[in-house]
A and B are shown apart, each in its own frame.
Chain A
């Protein structure tokens, strides 16, 4: 199993450009998440999904959109990138239901720079 993978690993954008980050998991997890990590701060939840076709806002959703068309994939979109969105983005996934299934498994991260 590859676990959780993220594409791309690095990206540089100009202000106003758009892009999509792809997260894929092969563990048949129901839940998937997108976080951002900024210097000196912990991870902050952007959006998450509790199943195929569903999405929900997290702590810092503004400026981002997401889609979960397939269970194994969770896409994060930036329609008009801003320098404030320069960050490292992490995707994670977890099972649903039951006390032993809430552990989140993280991808390796995507470093995004917006100039």
Chain B
């Protein structure tokens, strides 16, 4: 079974600074996706960034980027120029890339607070 571990229950960062959230996962498969979702106080789950395991290049989306280390099974999220609106729970998620299998597994989350 695939598992996802987020070892940092809470983190804080000053506005405009950079913060990195950690995520590790366990799988024996080679073809999969990894995601970071953001959940603000409104509870809506919002996709931040996704990474396909077969791609060596790290994904980036504006101020958000990942450090994907496939051999180490690590998938960290870097938020640059942190903004107050980035305050939220962040969930790392794993999904196998197989036909008709969209079973996604989530980590327990990291609560990020951006301080003014």
| Interfacial residues, chain A to chain B (CB-CB below 8 A) | 31, 33, 40-45, 48, 50, 58-59, 88, 90, 92, 94, 96, 99, 102-109
Kindly state the separation between the CA atoms of A33 and B42 in the bound complex, as whole angstroms.
Answer: 20
Contact A41 B44 (CB under 8 A): no
Q: A102-B33, A108-B43, A109-B44 are in contact. Are A42 and B102 (CB under 8 A)?
A: no
Contact B45 A106 (CB under 8 A): yes
Closest chain A residue, CB of each to CB of B55: A99
Q: A99-B52, A104-B102 are in contact. Are A42 and B44 (CB under 8 A)?
A: no
Kindly state the separation between the CA atoms of A90 and B109 in the bound complex, as whole angstroms.
Answer: 16
**B102 CB contacts on chain A under 8 angstroms:** 31, 33, 48, 50, 94, 102, 104
Q: A43-B45, A104-B104 are in contact. List 10 more A-B contacts (CB 8 A).
A: A33-B102, A40-B108, A42-B108, A43-B91, A48-B102, A48-B103, A102-B95, A103-B47, A104-B47, A106-B46
In the assembled complex, B68 has its CB within 8 A of some CB on chain A: no
Closest chain A residue, CB of each to CB of B6: A42
**B37 CB contacts on chain A under 8 angstroms:** 106
Kindly state the separation between the CA atoms of A59 and B52 in the bound complex, as whole angstroms.
Answer: 23
Report the minimal beta-carbon distance from B67 to chain A, rounded to whole angstroms. 20
Kindly state the separation between the CA atoms of A96 and B109 in the bound complex, as whole angstroms.
Answer: 27
Kindly state the separation between the CA atoms of A50 and B46 in the bound complex, as whole angstroms.
Answer: 22
In the assembled complex, B93 has its CB within 8 A of some CB on chain A: yes
Kindly state the separation between the CA atoms of A45 and B46 in the bound complex, as whole angstroms.
Answer: 17
Q: A102-B33, A108-B42 are in contact. Are A44 and B47 (CB under 8 A)?
A: no
**A31 CB contacts on chain B under 8 angstroms:** 102
Kindly state the separation between the CA atoms of A4 and B4 in the bound complex, as whole angstroms.
Answer: 26
**A96 CB contacts on chain B under 8 angstroms:** 100
In the assembled complex, B106 has its CB within 8 A of some CB on chain A: yes
B 30-51 binary contact with A (CB < 8 Å = 1; else 0): 0001010100001111110010
Report the minimal beta-carbon distance from B92 to chain A, rounded to whole angstroms. 8
Q: A103-B50, A109-B43, A109-B44 are in contact. Are A43 and B103 (CB under 8 A)?
A: no
**A44 CB contacts on chain B under 8 angstroms:** 106
Report the minimal beta-carbon distance from B26 to chain A, rounded to whole angstroms. 14
